Amino acid sequence: MTKQEQVKAIFIEEAGEIIEKLDVDILRFEENSADFALLNEIFRGVHTLKGNANAFGFTRLGEFVHHFEDVLDHYRSTKEEVEEHHLELFVGSVDVIKEVMNCELDALPDLPSDYDTYLGKIKELISSKRNGDSNVAPEPFTAPVVMMDLASEFGLSNEEEFEAAILNSIQLQQMSQENGLNLYRIDLRLDRDAYKRGFDHLLFLRLLKEKAISLESFLNMENVQRLESFSCDENVIGHVGVILLTPQNSEEVSENFEFLFDHEYSVRKIESTRAIQEAEIIKEPEIIKEVEKVAPKSVATDAPSSPTPLSTAKSTIRIDTFKLDELFDSVGELVIAQNFIAQNEKIRAIEDESISRAIETLSKITKRIQDRVMSLRMVAIRDTFDKMKRVVRDTSKKTGKALHLNVLGEETEIDKTMIDSLSDPLIHIIRNAIDHGLETDEVERLSIGKKAEGTITLRAYHKSGSIVISVSDDGRGIDKEKVVRKAIERGIITGDENLTDSQIFGLIMQPGFSTAESISDLSGRGVGLDVVKTSIEKLRGKIEVESKEGEGTTLSMVLPLTLAIIDGMLVQTAGEIYIIPTLSVVESFRPEREIVHVLKGQGEFVSMRGQHIPVVRLSDVFDLPTQRIEPWEGILVCVETEAGRIAIMVDELVGRQQVVIKPLGKSLAKLKEITGGAILGSGDIALILNVDELRPLIEVSNGGN
């Protein structure tokens, strides 16, 4: 990736974050349009987005946000309450911003269909406001008073705002600064007679650009006067800040200004973020002294001799998740190595207290490192839930159903990788809950004694080492008879099955199933919930459905804490160790002889609480040579699978352990009964079972009977 591409990637990421925040904030503002602090927050986001978009040539985005910013600026500076119909314009404008951003990223020639409509409405609004409030012409740049207010709202003077823009540029350059390149800040304050002496700011910029990898300059035009006091022969550009990235050293850069007076320029080298961090870690003050750094404060300073390091203002840094994954892998190896030492027979045979203590300390430290690295990947689910508020709002408006949203457990933390894959399933479940779960209208709700307003509850919580994210509605509940009838019609079941409630509810997630009377653009196409189910299963999770007719439905996504580690039950059969994901384990037991049955042509079953559960012999699945024993001589591990419960027969249980998942090689990856592998403390490799693929092998396991 080139330097420019890296900077652009940072911009794209930041712009994405700003837009996501706008999406949430605009809804909060819609709920409370008198919250001018929030309006300021929105304004600042739009303002930053405008600057960045223009800087990267995303002019169509820049144009739109520029006018949107004008509207926001009007309301925040006049403190005029936003009219309800204009709130809708605000919300729609954020949608357009999102779409334009996508067009810009994909370099699409066509703009979103709403672009011109919303831009027109925005311009119309600002024009009417300006004409109405005063007789100022509707041009956005005709209101210096308003723009001055912008700076005062930020608490910044013009020079401070100027300084903030320079610092922002420095930070962007620092983040992707490569070895061998030097970053400089150059300040030009040419005297008024500079032009007469034959100098011009642009002359210096042209010289610098010849050797530059990147050059960004900021011209402060604040001192330029009206024509009556202006003469183009006099330099009135008081200050030009230049950020230069170049392979040249300080002397070479300074040579460009050798004919200027000393007070007219300054060249300061800026360390890369990495160098600053390293300097802080090794705490060598002389390194700090060697290089001048730029003060993070936004106040302009004429005294560059006492700057503060930029790094002191930063409390967070961005890290590529790929690097985190690598770190996590390495820690996984460390855990394995530590286990190997702790469980090694030869080491354990050494009867030396100091060695035992050292191993114990190593074990504790390793665990602590593992926990801390794990925590780096964990983020609160709040942002995802915030996005869902918009989904609820829009769906409520589209369906015309009044509803109240409850959000619980926003602080629950979940693996970042998983969060990214959760939005789509969650959106679909929420739309489904509103569209199909809630009663058609208030009349229907009131007629059965419910409140007119429906309730959707979004909740996240920990349960038995897993994360549960649930969506509940207080609507009709699932009509089991209707579900069964539809499933028969669609050929999903024959009707002869004796299905439990949970199996009936599970039918709604079968491909092609839909009980919706009409197909809407929200849900009801019968392609939704099965896709949701598949998405969640890809995350090694599962969906549980609970429903009571007339009272409501809860769909819960049960997910592992992380994708990198699995909580597994270690079992042994024919001398080999296998891992069963604990999430799918219901119970394990040695069965009484009386509850084991063999049905001719159908294999072995175990009776549990009135259910006949098929027995799957693991040794048969993997064709392992072993002395055949009866089920009541072994151990059965009952697991929940897509197709219902099965009992996996093993020789013995080894224990429960968290293991780091390792991908399998190409040859083993073809085995659908296995999802991955793990290295145990002993150094042995254990395979992780895909329990959903074990059931079809019943016939195989019956082969010996």
Does 200 sit near another protein (CB under 8 A)? Answer: yes
State both tokens at 661: 């998942």
In the DSSP assignment, the letter for residue 285 is: H
Does 299 sit near another protein (CB under 8 A)? Answer: no
Does 548 sit near another protein (CB under 8 A)? Answer: no
CB of 221 or CB of 527, closer to another protein: 221
DSSP 560-615: ES-SSEEEEEEEEETTEEEEEEGGGEEEEEPPPGGGEEEETTTEEEEEETTEEEEE
In angstroms, the CA 304 to CA 163 distance is 13
In angstroms, the CA 348 to CA 345 distance is 5
Does 214 sit near another protein (CB under 8 A)? Answer: yes
Does 350 sit near another protein (CB under 8 A)? Answer: no
Q: Taking a C-beta distance cutoff of 8 angstroms, is the pair 373, 367 a contact?
A: no
Does 470 sit near another protein (CB under 8 A)? Answer: no
Question: Which listed range, 85-93, 214-222, 375-383, 478-486, lies at the site for another protein (CB under 8 A)?
Answer: 214-222
> What residues contact 355, with CB distance under 8 A and at least 6 apart?
347
In angstroms, the CA 366 to CA 590 distance is 36
From candidates 111, 181, 237, 574, binder to another protein by CB under 8 A: 237
Give the bridge partners for 245, in sequence order: 183, 214
Does 192 sit near another protein (CB under 8 A)? Answer: no
Residues binding another protein: number (CB under 8 A): 45
The nearest distance, CB 1 to another protein, in angstroms, is 19
The nearest distance, CB 141 to another protein, in angstroms, is 5
State both tokens at 539: 């995350």
Does 233 sit near another protein (CB under 8 A)? Answer: yes
Does 142 sit near another protein (CB under 8 A)? Answer: yes
From candidates 2, 102, 225, 440, binder to another protein by CB under 8 A: 225
Question: Which listed range, 155-163, 421-429, 431-439, 669-677, lies at the site for another protein (CB under 8 A)?
Answer: 155-163
> What residues contact 529, with CB distance under 8 A and at least 6 apart?
428, 429, 432, 508, 509, 513
Does 320 sit near another protein (CB under 8 A)? Answer: no
Collapsing DSSP to helix, strand or coil, 210 comes out as helix
In angstroms, the CA 595 to CA 610 distance is 10
Question: Which listed range, 20-28, 143-151, 287-295, 687-695, lies at the site for another protein (CB under 8 A)?
Answer: 143-151
CB of 137 or CB of 358, closer to another protein: 137
Question: Which listed range, 199-207, 367-375, 503-511, 638-646, lies at the site for another protein (CB under 8 A)?
Answer: 199-207
Collapsing DSSP to helix, strand or coil, 456 comes out as strand
From candidates 14, 20, 114, 161, binder to another protein by CB under 8 A: 161
Does 488 sit near another protein (CB under 8 A)? Answer: no
Strand order in the sheet with 685-689: 652-660, 565-573, 576-581, 685-689, 674-679
Does 126 sit near another protein (CB under 8 A)? Answer: no
x/- contact string, 7-46, with another protein (CB under 8 A)? ----------------------------------------
The nearest distance, CB 142 to another protein, in angstroms, is 4
In angstroms, the CA 554 to CA 377 distance is 28
From candidates 217, 298, 510, 514, binder to another protein by CB under 8 A: 217
Closest CA relative to residue 539, chosen from 563, 555, 568: 563
The nearest distance, CB 191 to another protein, in angstroms, is 14
Q: Taking a C-beta distance cutoff of 8 angstroms, is the pair 99, 112 a contact?
A: yes
Does 140 sit near another protein (CB under 8 A)? Answer: yes
Does 107 sit near another protein (CB under 8 A)? Answer: no
Closest CA relative to residue 197, chosen from 264, 255, 152, 130: 264
From candidates 61, 212, 580, 688, binder to another protein by CB under 8 A: 212
Beta strands of 157-293 (E only): which ranges? 182-188, 214-220, 239-246, 265-270
User: From its phi and psi, is residue 286 left (phi > 0), alpha (psi between -120 and 50) or beta?
Assistant: alpha
Residues 56-75 that bind another protein (CB under 8 A): 57
Does 147 sit near another protein (CB under 8 A)? Answer: yes
Question: Which listed range, 157-165, 365-373, 422-430, 676-684, lies at the site for another protein (CB under 8 A)?
Answer: 157-165
Does 232 sit near another protein (CB under 8 A)? Answer: yes
From candidates 77, 173, 220, 675, binder to another protein by CB under 8 A: 220
Q: How many CB atoms lie within 10 A of CB 159?
A: 17
x/- contact string, 366-405, with another protein (CB under 8 A)? ----------------------------------------
Does 155 sit near another protein (CB under 8 A)? Answer: no
Q: Taking a C-beta distance cutoff of 8 angstroms, is the pair 557, 470 a contact?
A: yes
Summarize as ranges the residues that interact with another protein (CB under 8 A). Answer: 54-55, 57, 137, 139-144, 147, 158, 161-162, 165, 195, 200-202, 205-206, 208-209, 212, 214-222, 224-228, 230-233, 235-237
